[in-house]
Structure formats: C-alpha cells, structure tokens
Amino acid sequence: MKDERSIVAAFLQRCNTYAKASIERKQARGEIDEIPRWQAYIEFNEHALQEIADGTLDRWFAQHGDEHAEPLHRLDIDTMEHVERSTWLNNVLSPRPVVVAGTLDSEGRRNFAPLSSVMAVSTAPPYLTASFSIHKDKRPRDTLANMRATGTIMLNLMPSTPRGVEIIDETGTPLPHGSDEAALLNLESVHDQPLLLKEAVAAIEAEYVEEHALPDAVARLTVMRVKAVWFSSTTVPAGGINVLCQHGRDDITPAPNGWTRRVDKHYG
C-alpha cells in the first residue's frame, strides 16, 4: 500500500478531477452562480497538495513501523500525477548538491539561478550534465539560453549556513530576462570574475558542449566540460567540503551531516 501522503494526494487529485467536470456541466446548464464555490474548492485542494509535497503537513501523518523495513512495495511511477511523482523521486534520490549557476547573456548581463540537477558523469574528459526545464510560457531557462549564447557557466557551491540558504532561495526568484539576481542580496563577486561569488566555498567553471532532448519531456539534458575548479587554496580538501544540498522536494540541508565512513573497494 502507498504511504499515507500518497493516498491523500491521490484522493485530492480525484476530487479536483470531479470538481472540474462539475464546473463544465454547470456551465453547459447555465448554472453560473455555483461555479465560484467549485473553483474555490479546487484552489483549496491544490494548496493542500502543495503542502503535502513540500512537507508542510508531515506532522499530520503518523509514522508507522520501521523506516528501514524491507522495500516490498512497487509503486508504478506512470500511474502517478505530477506532484506525487515529483515528491517520490525528490525524496528518494536525495540529497543532491545545489549550486548557484552564474551565466552571462549575449549583452554581458549576469544571471544567477539555483540548480540541483548537476552531476559529474566523466573525469576523462571532465564532463558534467544538468537538466533544464522551461518556463510556463515555453521560454528556455535563462541559464540555458545564456550558455547557448556565450558558452560559459560558473557553478557556485554555497556554505552550509542560513546565509547560504538565503542566497539559494533568493536567486530562485522569477525575474524578467536580463535582471541580475545578485542585486537582490547585494552579492559581491571575485575581482575580474563577475560570475564567481565571494561567498561561495568553491566553484566549478565549465563550458557548454551540447544538449539533448529527453524523450517525451520538455526538459533538456545539457553537457558541460569542466575548465577549472575554484577554491580557497591549492590543496585538495580531504573528505570533501561542507556544502548545501537539496533534500526532498524543497528543503535545503548541509552535507556532509553526521557520520562518515570511507569506502575504497571500488578501486580494485
């Protein structure tokens, strides 16, 4: 059986499907006066669905059994609605590093945006991948559009502090194309490096290589080649560095956090 959150989410989605059909029937019959109540009902359910997805209502759901019990239940992703599917994938494939991606457009205007889909897929040559969705009006994300135009991206990794979370949150603010999100927090960049944030604990400088359409998806998979790593010294940090990660759908958490054990059998 699906967990309680998924059951409630599926129920609310069915309620909205019924409500939308009811609105269509009432419009056909000319019963206009009752439609606003159904619309308010749909809006309420949509709000509840969002709060289930982002964890706001977690306290409503009692935890039963051992969270480390055997994974016996197969949940078919294709049968899920978007919110339920997104919640499952983000909660299971978690945490993921969050970077603040800095790019320039063709006129030299800066753009900063949080990005949590970056993955290292090769070290020889050094390639990263990331996926980019589109805006509701079908425009590509500014980060991808700018990479296409200028070929350069700076991936700033934020410190594990409340200030780092604030930077991630604020740079995600939807602004008109050409706006500089750094101005929202008066973010300063390193001298002669307009895309490298002073408050970053490290950064990866990369160049756009190519992109690919994903089957039946609006997102684009982009390949980037690493050109340089920016750090506070020339010494490799032992055991990694403390950076912020996305945990679940919208929560930000420090990593590493808690105990650590090194594994080395993969070296053979």
pLDDT along the chain (268 residues), means of 10: 70 91 89 89 90 77 59 78 78 81 95 92 91 83 95 93 90 87 91 94 95 91 94 80 82 73 60
Residue 157 pLDDT? 92
Describe the strand order of the beta sheet including 243-247 as a list of residue ranges: 96-97, 243-247, 251-255
Give the closest residue to 166 by CA, choosing from 142, 148, 152, 182.
182
- Residue 209 pLDDT: 97
CB atoms within 10 A of CB 17: 12
* Per-residue DSSP letter, 172: T
Alpha carbon distances (Å) from 100 to 39, 95, 132: 37, 16, 14
Q: Is 138 left (phi over 0), alpha (psi -120 to 50) or beta?
A: left
CB-based contacts of 206, cutoff 8 Å, min separation 6: 128, 152, 153, 154, 155, 224, 225, 226, 227
End-to-end CA distance of the chain: 41
Instruction: Name the E strands within 43-134.
Output: 96-97, 99-104, 110-115, 119-123, 126-132
What pLDDT shows up at residue 133?
87
The per-residue pLDDT for 69 is: 67
Within 10 angstroms of residue 120's Cβ, the number of other Cβ atoms is: 12
Which pLDDT belongs to residue 213? Answer: 92
Residue 1: its pLDDT value, please?
Answer: 31
Per-residue pLDDT, 264: 64
Cβ count within 10 A of residue 70: 6
**32 φ, ψ (degrees, to nearest 5):** -70, -30
| Predicted TM-score of the model (pTM) | 0.69
pLDDT at 148: 96
Residues in contact with 24: Cβ distance below 8 Å, sequence separation at least 6, in sequence order: none
